[in-house]
Structure 1
Amino acid sequence: MPVNCSSCETQRAALRRPKTGHSVCKECFFQAFEEEIHHTIVSAKLFQPGEKVGIGASGGKDSTVLAHVLKVLNERYNYGLELILVSVDEGISGYRDDSLETVKRNQQQYELPLKIVSYQELYGWTMDQIVKQVGLKNNCTFCGVFRRQALDRGAMMLAVDKICTGHNADDIAETVLMNFLRGDIARLRRCTAITTGSEGAIPRCKPLKYAYEKEIVLYAYFKKLDYFSTECIYSPNAYRGHARAFLKDLEALRPSAIMDIIHSGENLSVKEDIRMPVQGTCTRCGYISSQGLCKACVLLEGLNRGLPKLGIGKHTTNFTISSWRRNR
């Protein structure tokens, strides 16, 4: 039997929201989804009028929905932001080259500027080349470290005030689980923060922090947004995949589990006598780091010296700046 929208009570319901369980029509869903993101932005004071904001754009559903919604809200509520798409080309044949075509189409569709930075130009390596060296077991370690820094480098080139990423509620809940299982107190303490990097780096914020992945997919589907849906060919062995599978099982039993885990992370308190990493800068590249050398420089040194596993694990080796320059 057809069910009417629980919001407007006139239109026929087109979907049931995974987040709330309410049956709503498409228009009411769009409005509710966008207004919830607007509330997140306003309540967390993510932006100030006149700021130049970079949007991390991969061509996937999260970043595509983020770009679309930010453009809509920027115009609807007169945020006064200058929005720019920033993409990272990791150099993965048959995956990133295809997804970047989607990003280029988004650039035209949303009429936003686009900056693409590549691992090849920044590090002298592509992910395809890195995988040939390190295999599939630890490749996500390299990619995660390099991609984070590459996005910052691209943002610095554009002189943006903030970077927005498409991390959603599922992503953050997965990260809480991963850090808990690893016993990584430092990351566990800050992984639920909606804004990071305000101590010196370009601040990063997550406007989709409380948006469920399923609802992002529904929004993209009903809005007929153009996005790339293929998973990275190198990611099946990623540790995050196990946390994701566990979270999906929990969500099937209790849909609020995602938000419950996030709130648990937000309310975490750490004993005062626990030593936390002190943020400094890398002695080589100047990037933020809690060690003398940032993780990217250590990993890159290993690759250039033919010792790709050098930076993986708890023990790393210090190198002189001169040796690093010789091996660049």
Structure 2
Amino acid sequence: MDSAIDGVRQPPARAGSRLCTHCGERKAALKRPKTLEQICRECFYIVFEDEIHRTIVDNNLFKPGDRVAIGASGGKDSTVLAYVLSELNRRHKYCLDLFLLSVDEGITGYRDDSLETVKRNEIQYGLPLKIVSYKDLYGWTMDDIVKAIGLKNNCTFCGVFRRQALDRGAALLSVDKIVTGHNADDIAETVLLNILRGDIARLSRCTFIITGEDGPIPRCKPFKYTYEKEIVIYPYYAISLIFSCVIVLCSSSIFL
């Protein structure tokens, strides 16, 4: 609705003229999906990293000297996680030994390309990379499984084998923790699925930020409170961050 000053109707303010609610100096570049704040690129970059840092500290995810394996698939979530965690480790002196841990399921035309991305991340971020394969661990690949059983339930098989492969790879690296790129959207989806399935046991633990504490290697989710859209936006504003994975914005409505 147009505003009126002294009886004179004024045109509505243009979206592009709004200032960042954080610094109050630069023009806002986007509306944060998480808070709906109007924020500039520079402040978004800072706030995004600071929120993840607070999540790590407030939940005591790590202790100095921990060896931490980052589950790296070559996708946007794990790629952003690897970069941000390595930056925060350096900046805030977490004193962590970080590693990239990838699983080669043996899916022709899919995993080949993403593993190349992870190998580039190894060089870009200066993090040691360990790749474990279904072929080496189990003696067969997912392509072999599909040939034997068809496409029905193949994702269920792959999920179980992949979790075991991550644990075995982490054991080979002698790490204390595994971190994954599961974000707030992933957790919300899991909650809904468990409600629909009536799986009370999983529903009670699927929102935990640390899982598997009773097992050999706990898993942590530093992105538990991070929205997927903001993970997608982040690489565009982190100028020094070189991403090899293809990132497509989910919606243009996040920009002013």
Q: TM-score range by the shorter chain?
A: 0.7 to 0.9
Does residue 123 of the first structure (1) align with residue 146 of the second (2)? no
In structure 2, C-alpha distance between the alignment counterparts of 1:229 and 1:104, rounded to whole Å:
15
In structure 2, C-alpha distance between the alignment counterparts of 1:143 and 1:201, rounded to whole Å:
21
Does residue 10 of the first structure (1) align with residue 22 of the second (2)? no
Of 39, 51, 68 in structure 2, the residue corresponding to residue 53 of structure 1 is 68
In structure 2, C-alpha distance between the alignment counterparts of 1:80 and 1:176, rounded to whole Å:
34
> Who is 2:235 aligned against?
220
> Who is 1:169 aligned against?
184
In structure 2, C-alpha distance between the alignment counterparts of 1:193 and 1:115, rounded to whole Å:
27
In structure 2, C-alpha distance between the alignment counterparts of 1:152 and 1:229, rounded to whole Å:
28
In structure 2, C-alpha distance between the alignment counterparts of 1:222 and 1:30, rounded to whole Å:
6
CA displacement at 1:180 relative to structure 2? 1.0
Unmatched segments (≥5 aa) in structure 2:
1-13
The correspondence of residues 64-75 of structure 1 with structure 2, limited to 5 A, is 64-75=79-90
**1:107-154 Cα shifts (integer Å, max 9, x gaps):** 000000000000111111111111222222311101100000100100
Does residue 40 of the first structure (1) align with residue 55 of the second (2)? yes
**1:146-167 Cα shifts (integer Å, max 9, x gaps):** 0001001000000001000000
How many residues in Structure 1 have an aligned counterpart in Structure 2? 233
TM superposition score normalised by structure 1: 0.69
Does residue 79 of the first structure (1) align with residue 112 of the second (2)? no
> Who is 1:323 aligned against?
none
Of 98, 109, 114 in structure 1, the residue corresponding to residue 129 of structure 2 is 114
Contact 1:46 1:195 in 2 (8 A): yes
Does residue 187 of the first structure (1) align with residue 226 of the second (2)? no
Secondary structure in 1 aligned to 2:131?
Answer: strand
The correspondence of residues 244-283 of structure 1 with structure 2, limited to 5 A, is none
CA displacement at 1:229 relative to structure 2? 4.0
> Who is 2:156 aligned against?
141
In structure 2, C-alpha distance between the alignment counterparts of 1:103 and 1:49, rounded to whole Å:
26
In structure 1, C-alpha distance between the alignment counterparts of 2:216 and 2:201, rounded to whole Å:
18
Contact 1:64 1:225 in 2 (8 A): no
1:47 partner letter: F
CA displacement at 1:89 relative to structure 2? 0.5
2:243 partner letter: D
Taking CA–CA contacts closer than 8 Å with sequence separation of 6 or more, which of the two structures ends up with the larger relative contact order?
2
Secondary structure in 2 aligned to 1:190?
Answer: coil
Same amino acid, percent of matched pairs: 68
In structure 2, C-alpha distance between the alignment counterparts of 1:144 and 1:96, rounded to whole Å:
14
In structure 2, C-alpha distance between the alignment counterparts of 1:174 and 1:79, rounded to whole Å:
31
Contact 1:61 1:227 in 2 (8 A): no
Contact 1:61 1:220 in 2 (8 A): no
Secondary structure in 2 aligned to 1:108?
Answer: helix
| Superposed CA RMSD | 1.7
Contact 2:209 2:220 in 1 (8 A): yes
Unmatched segments (≥5 aa) in structure 1:
231-247, 253-328
In structure 2, C-alpha distance between the alignment counterparts of 1:228 and 1:153, rounded to whole Å:
26
**1:69-114 Cα shifts (integer Å, max 9, x gaps):** 1011111111010100000001111110100000000000000000
> Who is 1:30 aligned against?
45
Contact 1:54 1:164 in 2 (8 A): yes
Secondary structure in 2 aligned to 1:99?
Answer: helix
Contact 2:68 2:96 in 1 (8 A): yes
In structure 2, C-alpha distance between the alignment counterparts of 1:218 and 1:227, rounded to whole Å:
15
The correspondence of residues 151-166 of structure 1 with structure 2, limited to 5 A, is 151-166=166-181
In structure 2, C-alpha distance between the alignment counterparts of 1:228 and 1:143, rounded to whole Å:
22
> Who is 2:105 aligned against?
90
